[in-house]
């Protein structure tokens, strides 16, 4: 049998077989090339090259938050409507700013209602007022333990003697070291307190937050001290200026009132009692004669009372601060806000540590919500759960 050209069919079939072999060889080569350039192989190679990987990470980091290009690709009519929504959002931001201003007015109003209670607290702490039995009626978790301890003391003679010695200490007035204990209980404040600060803070009688009704709104922290051997001041102040206005250059970054400035006060230290500075001695050698001399230099010392000498904030239109100053001011603002919002209103709870326990409980609950637990799973709440589908499976399979 022959084809149209008169050639035997066998030859044609042989050539087809040859073409098939060539195609398989070609496909094999292509598959080999693909396998070499596959994503898995490239990823493996990149992981083995730290310099290439670092360059990729830097590139990816620069892309975080970059626009996808979707907004830019929208028609002009749609972009026009988006601008209208942004203008509406700006009006919402201005209303939000006014809302916080009204909240500040309420704070000023209710501060006058808190004031008598805080004055009474100071009186009890400083022993100028002894609370009545009725005022002391408050349930205590340790009452049962105290009753049991009293029974043991009544039965054991040794304990009776100790009780008599303890009775002699009933002359202690007020609540000693009330504010020092509070500050040492709070981590952000205890980090500031040095050993040489503690004898001074034992004289601290009260801390107040005074709200400013003027514009710009703000508040002042007052630290009241009894007469002491360290400084002449009876009150040390720290004033914070706040702002509740959207930034003109970035109005949508507004998230409520922010502290923009703080001013401390001058402490009139008594001679040789300034704990915020220290003297250091340094030897200097003369280059020519080779003789040495000792000089004394005064440098800043770590102290809680540096809190009253914050770094100055440049008042230029575009202030420039180094990173250390910015970090210091940020910490200062956080501390001032915490004292105002938490410590002053709940002082006794920070003294006993109950406020700290409550904060820990909230942290733990937050962690549970984030991570979740196996015991929280409820089959009735799972829309995809099918009891018939799971019949006959081992128990552990249902939890997968």
pLDDT at 248 > cutoff 60: yes
By mean pLDDT, which of 136-145, 226-235, 275-284, 370-379 is the weakest? 370-379
Q: What is the average per-residue pLDDT within 96-113?
A: 86
Burial of 342 (0-12, 13-18, 19+ CB in 10 A): middle
Q: Is the peptide bond prior to 87 cis by the omega test (within 30 degrees of 0)?
A: no
pLDDT of residue 397: 38
- Give the integer Cα–Cα distance in Å for 180 and 185: 9
Among 359, 331, 308, which residue's Cα sits nearest to residue 201? 308
Among 343, 196, 355, 332, which residue's Cα sits nearest to residue 263? 332
Tell me if residue 207 falls in helix, strand or coil: strand
pLDDT category at 372 given cuts 50, 70, 90 is very low
pLDDT of residue 21: 44
pLDDT at 165 > cutoff 50: yes
pLDDT category at 124 given cuts 50, 70, 90 is very high
pLDDT of residue 252: 79
Q: What is the average per-residue pLDDT within 20-36?
A: 50
> Would you give the DSSP letter of residue 343?
I
Q: How many residues does the chain have?
A: 400
Domain ranges of the chain: 85-110+176-272+307-365
Q: Residue 277 to residues 168, 190, 229, 294, 303: CA-CA distances in angstroms?
A: 41, 19, 17, 19, 9
- Structure token pair of residue 140: 């205590």
Q: Residue 120 to residues 115, 125, 126, 206: CA-CA distances in angstroms?
A: 9, 9, 10, 11
pLDDT of residue 74: 86
Cα radius of gyration rounded to whole Å, the chain: 37
pLDDT category at 23 given cuts 50, 70, 90 is low
- Give the integer Cα–Cα distance in Å for 34 and 285: 73
- Where is 282: in which H helix or E strand? strand 277-285
pLDDT at 385 > cutoff 50: no
Among 197, 277, 191, which residue's Cα sits nearest to residue 236? 197
pLDDT of residue 26: 52
Contacts 24+ apart (CB under 8 A), 196-204: 196/275, 196/303, 197/275, 197/303, 197/304, 197/305, 199/230, 200/225, 200/228, 200/230, 200/231, 200/275, 200/305, 201/304, 202/176, 202/177, 203/227, 203/228, 203/230, 204/179, 204/180
By mean pLDDT, which of 27-36, 58-67, 90-99, 205-214 is the weakest? 27-36
Which pLDDT tens digit goes with each residue over 232-244?
A: 999 999 999 887 7
**Residue pointed to by tokens 């180094």:** 322
- Give the integer Cα–Cα distance in Å for 337 and 259: 9
pLDDT at 202 > cutoff 70: yes
Homologous superfamily (CATH) for 85-110+176-272+307-365: Nucleosome assembly protein (3.30.1120.90)
For 119, list phi and psi in degrees, rounded to 5.
-65, -40
pLDDT at 9 > cutoff 60: no
Tell me if residue 236 falls in helix, strand or coil: strand
pLDDT at 93 > cutoff 60: yes
pLDDT of residue 41: 61
**CB-based contact 271:230 (threshold 8 Å):** no
pLDDT at 304 > cutoff 90: yes
- Give the integer Cα–Cα distance in Å for 184 and 197: 11
pTM of the predicted model as reported, rounded to 2 decimal places = 0.64
pLDDT of residue 59: 62
């Amino acid at each position: 049998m022959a084809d149209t050209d008169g050639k035997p069919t066998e030859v044609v079939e042989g050539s087809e077989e040859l073409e098939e072999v060539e195609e398989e060889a070609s496909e094999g080569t292509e598959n080999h090339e693909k396998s070499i350039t596959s994503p898995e192989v490239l990823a493996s190679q990149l992981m083995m090259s730290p310099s290439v990987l670092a360059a990729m990470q830097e590139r990816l980091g620069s892309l975080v938050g970059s626009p996808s290009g979707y907004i830019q690709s929208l028609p002009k009519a749609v972009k026009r409507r988006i601008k209208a929504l942004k203008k509406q959002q700006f009006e919402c931001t201005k209303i939000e700013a006014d809302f916080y201003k009204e909240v500040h007015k309420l704070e000023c109003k209710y501060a006058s209602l808190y004031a008598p209670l805080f004055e009474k607290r100071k009186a009890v702490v400083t022993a100028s007022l002894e609370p009545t039995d009725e005022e002391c009626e408050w349930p205590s978790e340790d009452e049962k333990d105290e009753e049991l301890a009293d029974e043991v003391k009544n039965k054991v003679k040794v304990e009776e003697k100790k009780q008599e010695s303890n009775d002699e200490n009933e002359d202690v007035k007020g609540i000693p070291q009330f504010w020092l204990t509070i500050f040492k209980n709070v981590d952000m404040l205890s980090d500031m307190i040095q050993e040489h600060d503690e004898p001074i803070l034992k004289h601290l009688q009260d801390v107040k937050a005074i709200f400013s009704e003027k514009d710009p709104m703000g508040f002042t922290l007052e630290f009241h001290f009894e007469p002491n051997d360290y400084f002449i001041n009876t009150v040390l102040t720290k004033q914070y200026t706040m702002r509740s206005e959207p930034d003109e250059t970035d109005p949508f970054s507004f998230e409520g009132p922010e502290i923009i400035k703080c001013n401390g006060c001058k402490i009139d230290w008594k001679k040789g009692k300034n704990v915020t500075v220290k003297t250091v001695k340094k030897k200097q050698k003369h280059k020519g004669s080779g003789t040495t001399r000792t000089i004394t230099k005064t440098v800043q010392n770590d102290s809680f009372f540096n809190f009253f000498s914050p770094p100055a904030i440049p008042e230029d239109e575009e202030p420039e601060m180094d990173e250390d100053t910015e970090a210091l001011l940020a910490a200062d603002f956080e501390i001032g806000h915490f004292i105002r919002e938490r410590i002053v209103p709940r002082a006794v709870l920070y003294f006993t540590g109950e406020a700290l326990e409550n904060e820990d409980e909230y942290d733990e609950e937050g962690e549970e919500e984030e991570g979740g637990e196996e015991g929280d799973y409820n089959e009735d709440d799972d829309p995809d759960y099918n009891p018939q589908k799971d019949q006959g499976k081992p128990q552990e399979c249902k939890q997968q």
